[in-house]
Chain A
Amino acid sequence: MSKMHVSASVNGEPVEFLCEPQQSLLNVLRDELNLTGTKEGCTTGDCGACSVMLDDRLVCSCLTLAAEVQGKSVGTIEGVANGDTLHPIQQALLEHAALQCGVCTPGYVVAIKALLEKNPLPSESEIRYWLAGNLCRCTGYDKIITAVQDVAQQMAKADKNAGEPA
């Protein structure tokens, strides 16, 4: 079977690629588009290291067929920082020492961003259940949860300030 031609947007930029029908989005991101920030931990949707946004949905790119993204928008870790400025989530993870080996971190950044877009001030329990699909073997999750609580407060405050008349 010949390869499929797919047009999509990745991190806001138009992208075209050829893929096998059975090829995963993770595989295409890493091996065809050289976006290796998205990590492979299991290929069975259990670890969340490959988390990306597909339009406004958080998905495991290992369980998403590359062909499915035709006409859609894909957001990866490489698109989270704004130019030379880290996203507040990335900054919070650093300041709270919320990573040790760091291989799960790109998936966390994408998943936390998705959480805070849906639920800007989640409870600890909501954070823990939202992130239950992202495995971290190093930290015991504690500092990740604290970082999310902290950055949620910061971002909510910044939004509020931005919304107030000058």
Chain B
Amino acid sequence: MSEAVNFKYIGTRPVRPDGVDKVTGRANYGADANLPGMIHGVVLRSPHAHAIIKKIDLSQVRLLDGIYAAVSGNDFPEVSSGSMGGEGGGDYKDLAANIMARNKVLYHGHAVAAVAARTRELAVEALALIQVEYEILDPVMTLDAAMAEDAAILDESMFTQGVDPKPKYPSNIASRIEFKRGDIEQGFLEADIIVESEFRTPTVHQGYIEPHACLASINEGGQATLWCSTQGHFDVRAASAKVLNMDLCDIKVIPSEIGGGFGGKTVVYQEPVAILLSRISGRPVKMVMDRDEVFRASGPASASHTRVKIGARSDGTLTAMSCWMAFEAGAFKGSAIMPGAMCIFTPYKVANFYIEGFDVVVNKPKVAAYRAPGAPQAMYACESLMDELARKLEMDPLELRLVNAVEEGVQAAYGPKFNAIGFRECLEVAKQHPNYTRALKEGQGRGVAAGFWFNVGMQSSAEVHINENGTVMVIEGNPDIGGSRASMALMAAETLGVPYEKVRVVVADTENAGYTNVTGGSRVTFATGMAVIQAAQDIISQAKQRAAATWELDEDQVDWQNGHAIPMPGVNADVEPLSLARIAANSGRTGGPLLGRASLNAKGAGPGFSVNIAEVAVDRETGKTDVIGFTAIQDAGKAIHPAYVEGQLQGGAAQGIGWALNEEYIYDEKGVMQNAGFLDYRIPVASDLPKIDTHIVEVANTAHPYGVRGVGETPIVAPLAAVANAVRDAIGVRITELPLSPSRVLESIDGA
């Protein structure tokens, strides 16, 4: 895609199509749906982090007036092991056991039973009548504890995968992975300088403001309708069908508006429970988590431990990079160790690398995807050590990265060769940026870091319907989590040549949209956008046929320009251009309504690179760090709606700053989370943050008609190290564990 392309709608910043409903309170989110006769379901959660369920007695609760249904794991069908596929991965058997514990509880807050009652209050009171007998086991709360030889074992049937020969004894290490290239020992021998360190990050939560919520209603014929807040209603359908042993076609999932997800709403928790309670009670059942449940039983993202070693020549050229990394998976296998390991050294050209990774179960909630899953933890370690290397070499940290930056044609550490990517461009922008060079005061510091995320394509469907007046309906299947209706409308408008205001975008349910993968993986504007463009091109092709028929020309004698059919240059025809509106008005006479469609498995999602500049002020009396400046630079390929691209950069930066400075799950010795609320699990608030400056780099992704590469996830990758490097710059000491809380910073200052 050449830079000379003049877009009419793409790159503009119109109001989003769903905007008015969202600023007036009209938009319906997960908890906003109600039905006549509706009752309320709530979950009884384990008071222990690790225990065997000896017995569950629901007989008393079932007798209570106003209770319509009560279930435990015994009321669900057996689910056999099988891969879930999709972005999150995971195993259906584990999913079923996470939704409702079977024989063991594996974290404080693990669901053990559920009741449905006339009111939510009554349901909550009724939970006290459920008798559960537990045999309490030792909780395993850290990577060190879980990987110790004498550790209590969460799952006696788990033997570490990826180790040959198969281990003799079960382990909490679900799998071991390894990636390597070149000769790592030789690489370190070639180095003039070697740096190494180890880094730890805590368990954190996605922190979406809307708790998980759903409403299920099943009829006497066994057909269920489910309203819920989700990033992927087709995945909810598949998971619910699997967990309840139902046919896919008997479950209709209607996605509500979604109040944030960041990966955390790609997972199913209450939805199958609500369907089961509805089946037993014969009534619609609503289930809404409270914030405490959201923290204890959904999300979170892996705590991590990473040891990194980097070797370089005195000119900064990297000769060897190695790491050992372990991620907590929570109660069931399946952390983001794989993408974490695949991305850690990806920004750099290095002939010799060795990466060893471990997926480890602990007695915490099963982790869920969180925006570039695995990358923030991994890149925090790599980019912190790169900062140390630059200091040792007395080199500018951006220059060190430029010397080693990957570019088009280089083979990525994870395998394929890069097409056009914008990493070097981001580094150059950072170097020239005034926020990189302005003077800092005493006690302040600046840090930079790079970010990377793969981005994905996957499956999408779209339809474009032309109304009889020429206005345009786009039908697609990705819940709009951050303005994607606007992007779809802009791409449809650009392709068709009709004004943005004449395009409406519908996020349709599982019965009214073609199969579409989740809103996640930074894939929607790329992959679903591509489907929308192709469906619009299908319309153009049909419109040209209709015009040809009207004009008695051949189809290839008709062109499409600015929303009108016109004769091709050189075609001798004395006709007026036909607008889409006129073709639509006449469509009854030329073959019926215009309906375009496309479905695809999008390939060529362009990787996303970023560079962040963090500026901090550290109070040496209290240890408190204030971020006083933050600059996010990222390659978007092509920004369809630049304001929403900037929003992604700013939002990811804020989440990354929270991860760096404040956020962590705090547990007591029994494995009970001590800060399961927004007061004590402190996400950044408006007064914690400065303006977040953005710079969008546009190196077009050649696999997308308009050059789009995903932008949603990369923004959270670099801030952890950028902030940590800035704090290092400010206090003169490297802290290797997040969060950089005031107490931890103060200890380091005092110890230095």
Contacts and interface: CB of A to CB of B under 8 A. Distances in A.
Interface of A: 20, 30-31, 34-44, 46-47, 49, 76-78, 80-81, 86, 90, 93-97, 99-106, 109, 124-125, 127-129, 131-145
B692 A142 contact: yes
B679 A102 contact: no
Nearest to B258: A101
Interface in B630-656: 641, 643-644, 646-647, 650-655
B257 A102 contact: yes
A36 B256 CA distance: 13
Interface string B652-669: 111100000000000000
Nearest to A144: B686
Given A36-B25, A97-B643, A100-B482, A86 B20 contact: yes
Nearest to A110: B25
Contacts of B482: 100-101, 138
Contact of B678 (A40, A44, A106, A131): A44
Given A47-B678, A97-B13, A137-B683, A38 B25 contact: yes
A40 B31 contact: yes
A90 to B, nearest CB: 4
Those 10 A-B pairs whose CB atoms lie nearest each other, nearest first? A37-B25, A103-B259, A140-B654, A102-B22, A140-B650, A97-B643, A46-B678, A77-B25, A100-B482, A90-B23
Contacts of A97: 13, 16, 483, 641, 643-644, 646-647
B22 A135 contact: no
A140 B692 contact: yes
B615 to A, nearest CB: 15
Interface string B11-49: 001011011101111111101101000000000000000
Nearest to A31: B34
B677 interface: yes
Q: Which of A31, A76, A81, A101 has the most CB of B within 10 A?
A: A101
What is the interface of chain B mostly: helix, strand, loop, or mixed? Answer: loop
Interface stretch (B165-173, B202-210, B725-733): B202-210
A99 B210 CA distance: 14
Given A90-B20, A132-B686, 17 more contacts: A47-B291, A78-B25, A93-B23, A94-B20, A96-B643, A97-B16, A101-B260, A131-B685, A131-B686, A133-B685, A137-B209, A138-B647, A139-B654, A140-B650, A140-B655, A141-B684, A141-B685
Given A42-B677, A44-B678, A138-B647, A104 B25 contact: no
B513 interface: no
Q: Which of B20, B24, B262, B678 has the most CB of A within 10 A?
A: B24
Contact of B32 (A36, A129, A140): A36
B582 interface: no
B677 A106 contact: no
Nearest to A124: B691
A134 B647 contact: no
B24 A80 contact: yes
Given A39-B259, A44-B678, A97-B647, A103 B687 contact: no
B260 A137 contact: yes
Interface string B586-600: 000000000000000
Contacts of B31: 30, 36, 39-40
B689 interface: yes
Given A37-B25, A86-B24, A100 B483 contact: yes
A102 B687 contact: no
Contacts of A90: 20, 23-24
A24 B684 CA distance: 27
Contacts of A31: 34
B647 A41 contact: no
Q: Which of A104, A139, A144, A145 has the most CB of B within 10 A?
A: A139
B680 to A, nearest CB: 9
Given A49-B209, A95-B15, A101-B259, A42 B686 contact: no
Contacts of B655: 137, 140
Contacts of A86: 20, 23-24
B686 A137 contact: no
Given A47-B678, A94-B23, A137-B260, A101 B686 contact: no
A133 B208 CA distance: 15
